[in-house]
Structure 1
Amino acid sequence: MQQFLLVAGAHFLALLSPGPDFFLILRYAIAQGRAQAALVCVGITLANGLFILLAWFGLMVLDEQGVLLRSIQFAGCAFLLYMGGLFLRHAGHRPLVAGQHNTSTAAASLGALLAGLTSGLLNPKNALFYASLFAVLNSQATPWAIQGLYGLWMIGLVLGWDLLVMWLASQPHLMRRFEHYLPNIERLAGALLILMAIGLLSALVQD
């Protein structure tokens, strides 16, 4: 139980720190509506689940400086720069008033799912966190089945937290408030993502 509380606490604290996943959910919830934002949440959860499976089976914890993890981190830097540029370029360019969302189509739904999946897969924080966490669990000889239960808990928590963020951001009274402030929020988000990319890239180069 003590180990579980430590794992769950560390994972929840990691979820609380805003990153590309958080800003993507926020943007979709405000500008596209709950249905599209929920699919983004599902995509992000699938990406987290994949990282957990990779770490659980030891494919990412054998060497934290391995080619797979390093490749994900460099790709993540490029993705953060790309996302940051999009936020800065398109700040405030989408309607936010309820009822002005585009009609949902299969293509739009697939695009939302893939956006969440891509964001989750190329989020450097996700890869590094799960690789480090399962490396610690393996070093403590935590049973394989217990690690699997931890993984299921974390997958459920990611989906629940992301859906909560989506629900809060899509509330009508919050949308009306965000309508005025969203351009500045998006510019701030873009700047933060670019700074995150520069900081991560600097650390990778120094290694």
Structure 2
Amino acid sequence: MYWNEFLTIALIHLLAVASPGPDFAVVVRESVVRGRRAGLFTALGVGSGILIHVTYSLLGIGLIVSQSILLFSILKWLAAAYLLYIGIKALRARPMDAASMEGETTVARSALAAFSTGFITNGLNPKATLFFLSLFAVVIDPNTPLSVQLGYGAYLTGATALWFCLVALLFSQQRVRAGFARMGHWFDRLTGAVLVGLGIKLALTQAR
């Protein structure tokens, strides 16, 4: 009965999650610089961040945020500040050899820290707020049972985590990481520039 609705949601989500953004940049950076374990936990954090958006969409809080310039601005500036923070840190990256890169993987980044990075990056994204608000307000019929809507939320969470886990697995391959052993700091700086750019763009975003 709800297959058409689900397939519409799945298609829209696929197009949205495959579009490069802060989540993609952070997962790739963690995977390349710190290894597969950090990349996977970051991906799981991004996926779990979806639960925040699903929860407030179901509760109707997303509608309040979208209609309140103050609340939207607070969320926007928090997200922009966080992206600028991790972006500037990446811009300050220094050259490292394979041994130091391995050290980054095993010592400098705990599973909780990697998970938190992904969770915060996704959870504070106001564009995700508007995306999920639109999804639950426009695509999903108000008469759809709450249990079915929760199923949609579980799918969106799992699909997002799976997608970014695949991204992490790809970019954490030994050949890929070995290629960045000498030039990795330039990649890190490039990623930092992207994150800073996304942060600035986000800061300039106006509520609609």
TM range, normalised to the smaller chain? 0.7 to 0.9
Q: Which letter does structure 2 place at the counterpart of 1:155? A: T
Q: CA offset at residue 201 of structure 1?
A: 2.2
Q: Which position in structure 2 is the counterpart of 1:202?
A: 204
The answer for the alignment partner of 1:165 in structure 2 is 167
Name the residue aligned to 2:113: 111
- Contact 1:55/1:131, CA 8 A, preserved across alignment: yes
Offset, 1:166: 0.7
Cα–Cα, structure 1 residues 95 and 46, in superposed 2: closer, same or farther, change >3 Å? farther
CA distance 1:6–1:198, shift in 2 (3 Å): same
Is the contact made by 1:11 and 1:154 (CA closer than 8 Å) also made in structure 2?
yes
Q: CA deviation at 1:145?
A: 2.6
Alpha carbons 2:29, 2:191 under 8 Å: kept: no
**1:126-205 residue pairs with structure 2 within 5 A?**
126-137=128-139, 141-204=143-206
* Equivalence for 2:89: 86
Q: Percent same amino acid among aligned pairs?
A: 30
Say what the alpha-carbon RMSD is for the aligned residues.
2.8
1:79-129 Cα shifts (integer Å, max 9, x gaps): 222222122122x54554698235746982222222222222222332221
* Amino acid in the other structure paired with 2:194: L
Flag the 1:119–1:95 CA change in 2: closer, same or farther, 3 A.
farther
| Displacement after TM superposition at 1:188 (Å) | 2.7
Compared CA separation, residues 68 and 143, structure 1 to 2 (3 A): farther
Q: Any stretches of 5+ residues in structure 1 without a counterpart?
A: none
Match of 2:26 in 1: 24
Q: Structure 1 counterpart of 2:44, which letter?
A: V
Aligned-pair CA distance for 1:165: 0.6
Find the aligned partners of 2:65 and 2:118 in 1 and give their Cα distance: 27
Secondary structure of the residue that 2:103 maps to in structure 1? coil
CA contact (8 A) 1:97 1:176 kept: no
Q: CA deviation at 1:68?
A: 4.1
Equivalent residue letter for 1:58: G
Q: Identify unmatched segments of 5+ residues in structure 2.
A: none
- Which has the higher mean CA deviation after the structures are superposed, 149-158 or 105-114? 105-114
Offset, 1:63? 5.1
* Contact persistence 2:50–2:122 (CA under 8 A): yes
CA separation of 1:97 and 1:163: change in aligned 2, threshold 3 A = farther
Correspondences of 1:68-83 after superposition (within 5 Å):
68-83=71-86
**Aligned residues of 2:25 and 2:195 also touching (Cα < 8 A):** no
- Which structure: greater helix fraction? 2
Displacement after TM superposition at 1:50 (Å) = 1.8
**Residues 96 and 51 from structure 1, CA distance in 2 versus in 1: closer, same or farther, beyond 3 angstroms?**
farther
State the distance in 2 between where 1:79 and 1:108 align. Answer: 19
| Structure 1 stretch displaced more, 103-112 or 166-175 | 103-112
Give the Cα–Cα distance (whole angstroms) in 2 for the partners of residues 180 and 103 of structure 1. Answer: 16
TM-aligned CA deviation for residue 157 of structure 1: 0.3
User: How many residue pairs align between the two structures?
Assistant: 205
Code of the aligned partner of 1:159 = A
Query: 1:37 and 2:74 equivalent?
Result: no
